[in-house]
A and B are shown apart, each in its own frame.
Chain A
Amino acid sequence: MSVKLSTMFKVLAVAGVTTLAGAAFAGEVEVLHWWTSGGEAKSVAELKKMLQAKGHTWKDFAVAGGGGDNAMTVLKSRVVSGNPPAAAQIKGPAIQEWAAEGGVADISAVAKANNWDKVLPPVVASQMKYKGKYVAAPVNVHRVNWLWINKAALDKVGAKAPANWDEFFKLADKFKAAGIIPVAHGGQDWQDFTTFEAVVLGVGGAKFYNQALVKLDQTALKSPTMLKALQTFKKIHTYTDKGAPGRDWNLATAMVIQGKAGMQIMGDWAKGEFQAAGKKPGSDFVCAATPGSANAYTYNVDSFVMFQQKDPANAKAQADLAASILSPEFQQVFNLNKGSIPVRTDAKMDAFDDCAKQSNKDFLATAKNGGLQPSIAHGMAVSPAAAGAIKDAVSNFWNTDSVTPQQAQAQIAQAAMTK
């Protein structure tokens, strides 16, 4: 699409929002997403209902797999064929990369009408913007730095949730002595990476995490703190079982549920597995921030990027979609189903469980004190190219005993320079 044409469509899209707002314009939105399983799908269905109530049609384009990798493949080919969907699930710095390619819609008018700048934490809001204009709407917040512990196992060894990595390994030793696999781990590269990120956050603190894994600062990456984090990370490996590599995260969670394993480092979606098995937070399992990260919070925010629509009615539907996503009602229903928390800082948490309440409290607190950091393992912190290269190095270190922490550190620093 030529520049002139695209700006013309942009004007049209904005015009659609401002002048036609309120008019009964029935449009169609095609939404590309990767939420296909029971709870997730039901959550998105709420959004569809809200749009239908406004008279629009929802065209569902769901493509699961690889945490959105398949969906991204589809999106690329749709954009190349000149036929992008109205909204696509894209998150983190990838939003900026897509916006830079052109063709995304400016939804600042919707954002302004609904006070997004006020209700969203600034870190999140800035990721939704490209050159100061909103191009995406955030849906939810997942906390990644959670440690899940089987309560019965914890009681059996007479311990409490570890507050730092020394306590973590002490607890792990106790589990081992009691014949329980200390750490349930799923050895897929993103899970290795999730563990790594939690260790860096716990060992170095939020500020160091930001320097090393968000800004990709070479001095931080080559610092002794990073080396210590890598040594700690590799030490965790010795507490996992042999069957870990390739295991799905939910099977690892199942090990904790059954008490075969003591604990797991995983984002808050793991809660859904506990609940599906009829377990209650507090009495059956414990959710705690990963060691040393009580005052920090790595977030994984899902969001929808809007693409320019040629038909003004569809642009109107798109604007309504964006507004609905951040409406308090949808935020509540969706996140109750999904296990995450609302992205709005003014959300009411009464209906949520204790883990979600804790998550929300920490979210608000860390948003103020700088502890709120984007998760690199979940594509929130750096470009997909750099994140992928670092993930390769981290996962290779985790799985290969012949790689020393020093070598791994050099490889990670090298990978961080991937453009």
Chain B
Amino acid sequence: MATQEHSVGQKRFDQWLPKLVVAPSFILSLIFIYGFIIWNGYLSFSTSRMLPNYEWAGMVQYESLWQNARWWVAIKNLGIFGVLFIGIGTMLGLFLAILLDQKIRVEGALRSIYLYPMALSFIVTGTAWKWILNPSFGLEHLVQSWGFPNYTFDWLVNPEKAIYTVVIAGVWQSSGFVMALFLAGLRGIDDSIIKAAQVDGASLPRIYWRIIIPSLRPVFFSTIMILAHLAIKSFDLVMALTNRGPGYSTDMPASFMYTMAFERGQLGVGAASSTMMLAMLAAIVVPYLYSELRGYKKNG
């Protein structure tokens, strides 16, 4: 009898223990994430300028946000940057991963070379890129001095094109990581499938196109999620490479928010812009979470 009681108690304890263990970190992060979102949302309806205040102002900050030409430029840039950064980053990463997966002799060294940009802070790699892309002494100058006087590469200094240089630097920074994701995905594929296809006489490109790449679907999914959130958060990249210029032609939502909230004493407008950013994030993340959960139910 006593032992049975003990085991009932034990069982109840075992049921509670996991919840107890995760409760502190769950509760804290939920409070932090959602508390801060609500706080920020409230500020966007307040008259806050230098410092937060809680005086109700209605939609004023949103009106001034959407009237601001700079915000429209930031949104447009996010669109251009997001599409190209995700597209090129994914393609290049996949391409390199496939090449690296061909039993390359110096794979370790190459992989490290492709990966290292992620390890460096962009505060200074930005300067290096700035020099390389600058027409007066960078690549354009170099190629011209090789005997091609008509070569031009002046995207960095052209307000219409400068955003594309941000894409180049962004791809440089993250595509190695994407390569690692895909390489991992490729290594996870069962070799026997490929061998069987080869026996059937399929060519290698065909095998990749028809069998391997489709089976990497989940990797594509994670990659696009990671790159999308990097795109929306991209801040260091813009600040270090173009500092939002020429003019404000390469501003993005995250740097816009920083400019307004911290540099100019327009905290309310800044808060309104971050609410918009959060809304954009939600539009991307919620479907992701939905699929996470569905996938989980399937697996679990």
Contacts and interface: CB of A to CB of B under 8 A. Distances in A.
Touch test A–B (CB under 8 Å) = yes
Interface of A: 66, 69, 72-73, 76, 79-80, 94, 97-98, 101, 187-189, 192, 241-247, 383-385, 387-389, 392, 395-396, 398-400, 411
B135 A72 contact: no
21 contacts: A69-B262, A72-B262, A72-B263, A79-B51, A97-B49, A189-B243, A189-B245, A189-B247, A242-B157, A243-B135, A245-B156, A245-B246, A246-B156, A246-B245, A247-B136, A384-B265, A387-B264, A392-B69, A392-B247, A400-B159, A411-B69
A399 B244 CA distance: 13
Contacts of B50: 76, 97-98, 101
B172 interface: no
A87 B82 CA distance: 42
B263 A398 contact: no
Contacts of A98: 50
B262 A396 contact: no
A242 to B, nearest CB: 5
Interface in B254-289: 258-259, 262-266
B111 interface: no
* Majority SS at the chain B contact face: loop
A244 B249 CA distance: 15
Contacts of B134: 243, 246-247
B248 A242 contact: no
Nearest to A400: B159
Contact of B265 (A385, A396, A399): A385
Contacts of B130: 246
B233 interface: no
A244 B156 CA distance: 10
Contact of B264 (A80, A245, A384, A396): A384
B137 interface: yes
B265 A188 contact: no
Contacts of A188: 243, 245
Contact of A80 (B51, B137, B244, B246): B51
Interface of B: 49-52, 69-70, 130, 134-137, 154, 156-159, 162, 242-249, 258-259, 262-266
A409 to B, nearest CB: 15
B247 A66 contact: no
Given A242-B135, A243-B134, A243-B157, A398 B247 contact: yes
B243 A246 contact: yes
B248 A396 contact: yes
A380 to B, nearest CB: 15
A399 B247 contact: yes
Nearest to B263: A69
B263 A395 contact: no
B259 A388 contact: yes
| For the complex of A and B, 10 pairs with smallest distance between CB atoms | A243-B136, A245-B157, A399-B246, A245-B246, A399-B247, A395-B247, A388-B264, A73-B262, A396-B247, A384-B264
B264 A392 contact: no
A399 B51 CA distance: 33
A83 B162 CA distance: 41
B82 to A, nearest CB: 22
A94 B263 CA distance: 11
Contacts of A97: 49-50, 265
A383 B262 contact: no
Contacts of B158: 245
A184 to B, nearest CB: 11
A244 B264 contact: no
B85 to A, nearest CB: 20
Contact of B136 (A69, A241, A385, A395): A241
A220 to B, nearest CB: 23
Contacts of A389: 264
Contacts of B159: 245, 399-400
Nearest to A387: B264
Nearest to A395: B247
A385 B266 CA distance: 6
B134 to A, nearest CB: 5
A322 B158 CA distance: 46
B245 A244 contact: no
A125 B229 CA distance: 49
Contacts of B262: 69, 72-73, 76
Nearest to B269: A385
Contacts of B157: 187, 242-246
B144 to A, nearest CB: 12
Given A98-B50, A396-B248, 18 more contacts: A69-B263, A80-B51, A97-B265, A187-B245, A189-B247, A192-B247, A242-B157, A243-B136, A243-B137, A245-B156, A245-B162, A245-B245, A246-B134, A247-B134, A385-B264, A385-B265, A399-B247, A400-B159
Nearest to A97: B50
A258 to B, nearest CB: 12
Q: Which of B244, B259, B265 has the most CB of A within 10 A?
A: B265
A374 B89 CA distance: 47
